[in-house]
Structure 1
Amino acid sequence: MSAAPDGARAMTFRQEWRDFLRFVVRPRAAPRLPRRPGHGEWLDWFPDVSAGRLLRWAVVLWAINLLFLGPIALAAAGAGGAEHRLDLGNIPWLQALIWAPIVEELTFRHGLRQPGRAVWLVPACVVALLAGPKWYAVALVGAVVLLCWWPYLRRAPARPAALPWRWRRAYLRVFPWVVHGSCLLFAAVHLNNFSLNQTPWWLMPLLVLPQWLTGLALAWLRVRRGIGASMLLHGMFNGGPLLVVWLVLQWMPLPPS
């Protein structure tokens, strides 16, 4: 990632946080945060944002989840008998750091700013999401990314897939519902991380409160900075807890089964 220009650096983290809270209350498709001039498709995937700023967002999300939402999720899991599926002896690094950030961001958030493209992109990515990181799913995602990059590769003018004007106006009216609906679906998908056992349905939303909050932050980042930024933050967010688990296991290895 290149260094952000002076205009982009002028927005402090506190200002970004306030903008995020306004977005949660009333999601809007514009404006973007300041960025350098350039081809829109390229900047969407390679945004003007520093790794330090993204890490700061990850730390804030980790803190909120650790101190507030995580304990609620743990209490709900204990009350309902749900168990996390994570295999401590085989931590899924590649899936958590690369596969999930790419496929889940394409599925749930890429279309927020490009609803015309979402008509074909979302179904293809849902197939890949359900299949997991198998060779044909990886090939499918690679084809999707190539098609997304095609306007830049052929030096075409930077513009999203066009929708008729009346459809675009209708989409902007329902945009808040689309954002919050996508975040709820994103959280619901992560119920698959648990063996639910006899967990009652009304406890299930509490199990994925951390993913719901993270989905809101990723949606804001996708809309304001680009899909590349949301993928990077997604990978950072997944990597932090796994790194902690790995370090704990190095210090206190699992007993032999």
Structure 2
Amino acid sequence: MLEKVLVFLKNPVRPDQIKPLSFKEFFILLGAVLVVVIPYALVLEQLDLELDHALEELMKQYKWLVVIGAIILAPLLEEPAFRMPLDFKAKSIYWGIGLSILFMSELWFIPLGYMGYLFFVLMKIKDGQPPSLKSAILISSVFFGLVHLGNYQGFDWVDQFYVIPVLVGAQFLLGLVLSYIRINHGLKAAMLFHGAYNAIILIPAAIFETA
């Protein structure tokens, strides 16, 4: 299963038919992502980057509301915004452009840049020269990661530019896996995977860390 994902990411090809993601494949993929992300998060905490995560403050006051939002609302918004346009259909791209507005924050230029990229893809498709699927997966995953910089309070884009790959590495990896799922198993499967990932990350935090 993992080899299949790596082969796909090296040379993405659309399947002739979208197939359901089996429970076995779902949990193998989820486990593989968590095996990478959880140690990565622990190392990130030890770096002492002097950045506060907005979710930590929200969890102190509205922890279960935040958890429910992350499990249900985040996949419903982020997957159509970042993964739906991977089918290179005009309607999907317009959905991505529209939903990108919801990610505006202090770092407003990141979703604005993503919207500009989607308009570029739309123009290329109308000209009969769509971008490669590989580049689309990489770029959408990069923007998916960069949007999450808005979670860090006090982040200085200029002075702390060098730590960006470290801060968004986990989200970039997740974006790649979700892209594989979206293309091969459909958008709903990507939403379910995204929700399950957020649940495993946040529910223990809500129970043990902010109790």
User: Is this a same-fold pair by TM over 0.5?
Assistant: yes
The 3-state SS of whatever aligns with 1:31 is coil
Is 2:51 the counterpart of 1:82? Answer: yes
Match of 1:94 among 68, 78, 86: 68
Runs of 4+ off more than 4 Å = none
Match of 2:21 among 41, 46, 49: 49
Deviations 1:175-229 (A, max 9, x none): 2111100000000001111114456111122111111100000001101110011
* Identity within the alignment, %: 21
Is 2:49 the counterpart of 1:65? Answer: no
- Provide the TM-score with structure 1 as the length reference: 0.64
Deviations 1:214-246 (A, max 9, x none): 000000110111001100000001110111112
In the other structure, the counterpart of 2:4 is: 19
Match of 1:106 among 80, 86, 102: 80
CA distance in 2: counterparts of 1:52 and 1:70, whole angstroms = 25
Shift in Å, 1:34: 6.4
Match of 1:210 among 139, 162, 170: 170
CA distance in 1: counterparts of 2:203 and 2:28, whole angstroms = 17
Is 2:198 the counterpart of 1:238? Answer: yes
Which amino acid in the other structure matches residue 200 of structure 1? Answer: Q
Q: CA-atom RMSD, angstroms?
A: 2.4
| Residues matched between the structures, number | 185
The 3-state SS of whatever aligns with 1:202 is helix
Which has the larger Rg?
Answer: 1
CA distance in 1: counterparts of 2:193 and 2:181, whole angstroms = 9
In the other structure, the counterpart of 2:151 is: 193
**Would the alpha carbon gap of residues 93 and 105 (structure 1) be closer, same or farther in structure 2, given more than 3 Å must change?**
same
The 3-state SS of whatever aligns with 2:189 is helix
Contiguous gaps of at least 5 residues in structure 2: 106-124
Deviations 1:124-165 (A, max 9, x none): 21124449xxxxxxxxxxxxxxxxxxxxxxxxxxxxxxx66x
- Provide the TM-score with structure 2 as the length reference: 0.77
Contact 1:74/1:207 (8 A) holds in 2: no
Which amino acid in the other structure matches residue 33 of structure 2? Answer: L
CA distance in 2: counterparts of 1:53 and 1:24, whole angstroms = 17
My pick for the range that moved more, 87-96 or 204-213, is 87-96
In the other structure, the counterpart of 2:139 is: 181
**Greater helix fraction, Structure 1 or Structure 2:** 2
CA distance in 2: counterparts of 1:178 and 1:50, whole angstroms = 26
